[in-house]
């Protein structure tokens, strides 16, 4: 077994840890482009760059049927025309991923695994929130507004996540012990929540 073959096997193995097929595909192509892809033949080099561009569109909620068709075409071209096994294996991997319903779902506005950031957001659940302020302290973006409860006699401003400031790092959900922050799918149209 050559060192390069092992490198490809490592890439495919690590990708299996990612639940979302779109995210998984992006991971494989990104690592392939960063190392094993040598650029000596056109079908593989062009196919890899083209597929990365299409995958980024799909993961950003900007994907279309055209992107799906182009990816399938690229996958077939890489399988049939790449000079070595590495390009052929990546092409076959792409075709296999495209057969998963997740690709179509992304084009229609859903990342079922909530891994692609364009498809989900964090929201506050007011009825569960005790206004402890832990989430606010954890947020480095200043994306959470609200007033800590210092006295039960006062009215305190409810906690709320400002989506425009939120980078979706997930730190707030980790520190909230009251299930008062949830991760939810958002319906998207051309990358914009509706």
Contacts to ligand SF4 by CB under 6 A: 36-41, 44-45, 82-84, 86-87, 122, 124, 129-135, 138-139, 141, 143-144, 159, 161, 166-172, 175-176, 178, 180-181
Q: How far is the CB of 107 from ligand SF4 (least distance, A)?
A: 26
User: Please, which residue, 21 or 47, has the CB nearer to ligand SF4?
Assistant: 47
User: Please, which residue, 64 or 128, has the CB nearer to ligand SF4?
Assistant: 128
* 123, 130, 152, 160 from 133: Cα distances, Å: 15, 8, 15, 11
Q: How far is the CB of 110 from ligand SF4 (least distance, A)?
A: 20
Residue with tokens 């390009």: 87
User: Please, which residue, 28 or 129, has the CB nearer to ligand SF4?
Assistant: 129
**Closest C-alpha among 26, 103, 41, 52 to residue 78:** 41
Q: Which residue is nearest to ligand SF4 (CB)?
A: 87
User: Please, which residue, 110 or 161, has the CB nearer to ligand SF4?
Assistant: 161
Q: How far is the CB of 8 from ligand SF4 (least distance, A)?
A: 9
> DSSP string spanning 112-123?
TTS-SGGGEEEE
User: Please, which residue, 56 or 123, has the CB nearer to ligand SF4?
Assistant: 123
Q: How far is the CB of 192 from ligand SF4 (least distance, A)?
A: 18
CA–CA distance, 78 with 99 (Å, rounded to integer)? 17
**Closest C-alpha among 185, 192, 142 to residue 165:** 142
Q: How far is the CB of 10 from ligand SF4 (least distance, A)?
A: 15
End-to-end CA gap in the chain: 51
User: Please, which residue, 27 or 159, has the CB nearer to ligand SF4?
Assistant: 159
Residue 44 parent element (H or E): helix 42-59
Query: CB–CB of 182/170 below 8 Å?
Result: no
Sign of the alpha-carbon dihedral angle for 63, 68, 70, 71? positive
Q: How far is the CB of 95 from ligand SF4 (least distance, A)?
A: 16
């Amino acid at each position: 077994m050559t060192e390069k073959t092992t490198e490809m096997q490592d890439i495919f193995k690590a990708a299996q840890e990612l639940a979302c097929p779109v995210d998984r595909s992006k991971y494989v192509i990104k690592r392939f482009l960063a190392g094993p892809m040598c650029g000596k033949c056109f079908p593989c080099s062009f196919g890899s760059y083209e597929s990365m561009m299409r995958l980024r569109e799909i993961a950003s909620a900007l994907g279309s049927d055209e992107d799906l068709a182009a990816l399938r075409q690229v996958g077939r071209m890489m399988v049939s025309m790449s000079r070595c096994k590495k390009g052929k294996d990546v092409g076959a991997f792409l075709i296999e991923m495209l057969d998963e319903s997740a690709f179509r779902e992304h084009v229609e506005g859903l990342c079922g695994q909530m891994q692609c950031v364009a498809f989900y957001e964090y929201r506050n659940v007011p009825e569960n929130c005790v206004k402890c302020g832990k989430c606010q302290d954890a947020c480095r973006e200043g994306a959470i507004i609200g007033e800590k409860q210092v006295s039960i006699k006062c009215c305190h401003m409810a906690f709320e996540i400002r989506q425009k400031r939120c980078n979706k790092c997930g730190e707030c959900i980790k520190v909230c012990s009251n299930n008062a922050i949830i991760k939810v799918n958002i319906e998207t149209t051309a990358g914009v929540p509706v």
